[in-house]
Structure 1
C-alpha cells in the first residue's frame, strides 16, 4: 500500500498543536490499521514571536514566521502544512505564494463543514485578533453563510481567557461558564452554530456543554489533514495496474 503524505504541523500554542497532533494519531487507525498514522513533523517558533507581531499589527511579520516554519517543515520531509491556530491565518495570503509547501486553510475547512451542516448564521469565538479580522467572514461569505462576533467587551474577556489561561493549560470553571454564557447570548442574537475559532477552545467547549452546536476548528483541521494525507494512498492505488 502506498505511504500516506507526511503532515507538517506549524505549531503556535502548545495546547492547540498537541490536540491537533493527538487527533490525527487517534483517528488514523480506522483508516490505516491499529497504531498506524501518517508521518508527522512539527515545527514551532516561540509563541511570543507571533504574539509580538500581532500586538504590533505586523501581519507581514506573522507571514515571515509562517514561511520560516514552512521551510523548516519542508526540510524535515513534510508534503503539506496545517496550522492549528486560527488567528495567524490573517497573514495567510501574504505568505501563500512564497511557501515551499501547500497549506490547508483552517477557516476553509470549517466553513465547508458549516455548509455541509446547513448552518444559517455562525457565531465566531476566538482571540480578539481573530474576531476583529476577516479570516472567517471572508471565507464564510463564499459559502453564503453570514456570521456574528460577540460585543467588544465580550471579545476582550474571551481573548483574556484564551491568552492568559487556555494557551497555558489553565481551565478555570468560571471562565468556562463565561464562554458558555457568551454562546447562549449569541444564540439569542440569531446564531445557530458556534465556531470555536481558537484551537484551545475545544479543550473546554463542545456540543455537550454548549447551547449551540459547535464547529471544532482543531479537530476539523486534523480530520482534513488526515484525509488529505491518505487520499494520496487511494490515488496511488488507483493508478497502479
Structure 2
C-alpha cells in the first residue's frame, strides 16, 4: 500500500476536505471503517503562493512548493499531490525535482472531462488560474474549448474566494452571484461542463446548482490519489 504525501494549507478548508475525502474513499475501497491509511501532510502558507504569483516570482513559487514536496518525499511519501489548483502554475518544474510520482490536478481533471465527452467547458478559480494558460493547455491541445468569465467577473470570483471561501465563509449572496456568472457563461458560450478550478469552490457550488456537469477538482484529484494508493 502506497503512502500519500499532501502539500496542504492551500487553503486550510480544502486541506481538511482532501483529508476527510481520502479517508472515506480509502475505507470504502477497503470495505471497512476499522482501517485508516498512513499519509503525510505538509501544511504551508497559501498567502505566500499569492504573493509570489502576484510579483511574478515563479522561481520562488517553484522552490517554495517544491521544497514542501521534497520534504514529503524525504519522510517516506510514495507519491505527492499539491492540494490546490493555483500552484500548478509551476507543477511541471516541481515534478522534475521530486523523485517520487506526483499526481497533477490539471491532468486528472482533463482526463475526467475527456471521459465524460465534454468539448466546451468553463473554468472558474482564482484570478491566477483563470488568467494563466496552465489549466487551459491540455484542453486546447486536444481541440477542446475552455473559456473563463469576463475580467470583471474574474475579479469578483477571486476576491470572494480569498476573502470568504479560503476562510471557511459561505455567503448566500456570493453563491447567487457565482451562479449568475456561471449561467451567463453557459448561455453565451454554450458550455457542456464547468470546472471548479479552485479546491474551495465545492463549498459554494454543488451538483444541481447548474444545468451542466460540475467538475469538482478536489474530488477528481482525491479519486486519483486513492487509485494510486492501491496500485501495484
Q: Same fold (TM over 0.5)?
A: yes
- Residue of structure 1 in register with 2:2 after alignment: 5
Asked if the contact 1:29/1:37 (under 8 Å) is kept, the reply is: yes
Q: Distance in 1 between matches of 2:221 and 2:172?
A: 27
Asked if the contact 1:180/1:209 (under 8 Å) is kept, the reply is: yes
- Residue of structure 1 in register with 2:209 after alignment: 209
1:34 corresponds to which of 32, 37, 42: 32
SS in 2 for 1:62: helix
Q: Count residues with an aligned counterpart.
A: 229
Q: Distance in 1 between matches of 2:176 and 2:165?
A: 14
Is residue 15 from structure 1 mapped to residue 13 from structure 2 by the alignment?
yes
- Residue of structure 2 in register with 1:192 after alignment: 192
SS in 2 for 1:136: coil
Q: Distance in 1 between matches of 2:216 and 2:153?
A: 20
Gaps of 5+ in 1: 233-241
SS in 2 for 1:9: strand
Q: Distance in 2 between matches of 1:97 and 1:75?
A: 16
TM-score normalised according to structure 2 size: 0.95
- Residue of structure 1 in register with 2:163 after alignment: 164
Instruction: Compute the RMSD of aligned alpha carbons.
Output: 1.2
Q: Distance in 2 between matches of 1:225 and 1:91?
A: 20
1:212 shift after superposition: 2.1
Gaps of 5+ in 2: none
1:93 shift after superposition: 2.0
Q: Distance in 1 between matches of 2:204 and 2:108?
A: 21
SS in 1 for 2:231: helix
1:176 shift after superposition: 0.7
After superposition, residues 91-130 of structure 1 pair within 5 angstroms as 91-130=90-129
Question: Does 6-15 or 203-212 show the bigger shift?
Answer: 203-212
Question: Does 156-165 or 14-23 show the bigger shift?
Answer: 14-23
TM-score normalised according to structure 1 size: 0.91
1:144 shift after superposition: 3.3
Higher helix share: 1
1:204 shift after superposition: 1.3
SS in 1 for 2:160: helix
Q: Distance in 1 between matches of 2:71 and 2:225?
A: 18
- Residue of structure 2 in register with 1:219 after alignment: 219
1:208 shift after superposition: 2.1
Question: Does 175-184 or 121-130 show the bigger shift?
Answer: 175-184
Q: What whole-Å deviation, never above 9, does each CA across 1:68-92 have from its counterpart, x for those lacking one? A: 1112111221111111210110111
Q: Distance in 2 between matches of 1:165 and 1:172?
A: 8
